[in-house]
Copies of this chain bind each other. A is one copy, B any other.
Amino acid sequence: MHSLVEENYLKALFALSKDKGSVSVNDLSKHLNIKMPTVTNMMKKMAFKKLVYYESYKPLILTKKGKKEAALIIRKHRLTEMYLVEKMGFGWEEVHNIAEQIEHIKSPKLFAKMAELLDYPKFDPHGAPIPDINGEMEWKAYSKLSECKPDDMVKIAAVINTTDEFLKFLNRREIHLGLKIKIKSVEPFDNSMVVKYKNHLEETLSNTVCKRLLVEKF
């Protein structure tokens, strides 16, 4: 088994390599708030464990094994978040920090039970996909709300770059997963949007907000 520390490196590598497929020592260092020499050291250790490909001065790449183990930790994280929201009554803005700890619990049975009680959920409370027991996961082809046009009718499918503050902001605006939104207009100078939903007939959302909302058109 891996230490809690290694597990957090794995998750960070996985998250950061989303697009390019590789990560720089610098990025990883910043993401984890750990100085670069410490990261270099840990990468050598994890390379020895076949979790990551490491060569001096080259980008870091997760091995197949590393990717799978990362995905399984993310599975535990997202199952936990879903469990806390669905079965214990937490708000979606409260669960990340608890899941950050519980994801390291060693008990396949606990997470199997969560999955069972939740009826094998496919998404976490923020709309992110929950990897299956083999670490397989795929993001659906969502668009960002910021890329939509006036008169588009969309449904909120996921929230990205979620901080507690951002989620509390959405709570105050009564914006949640599954919400149907109509785009009334887009301000050309700051790309903010005026949208309509439920009993909010004219709500303005900044581009910062719109870039963090993934939507499905319908």
Contacts and interface: CB of A to CB of B under 8 A. Distances in A.
A42 interface: no
Given A113-B89, A117-B88, A98 B105 contact: yes
Interface residues of A, number: 18
Contacts of A90: 109, 113
Contacts of A87: 87
Contacts of A109: 90, 94, 98
A87 B114 CA distance: 11
A97 interface: yes
A211 to B, nearest CB: 30
A117 B84 CA distance: 12
Question: How many copies of this chain sit in the oligomeric assembly?
Answer: 2
Contacts of A97: 107
A107 B84 CA distance: 12
Contacts of A88: 110, 113-114, 117
Interface string A107-121: 101100110010000
Contacts of A101: 105-107
A39 interface: no
Nearest to A114: B88
A106 B101 CA distance: 8
Interface in A66-107: 84, 87-90, 94, 97-98, 101-102, 105-107
Nearest to A94: B109
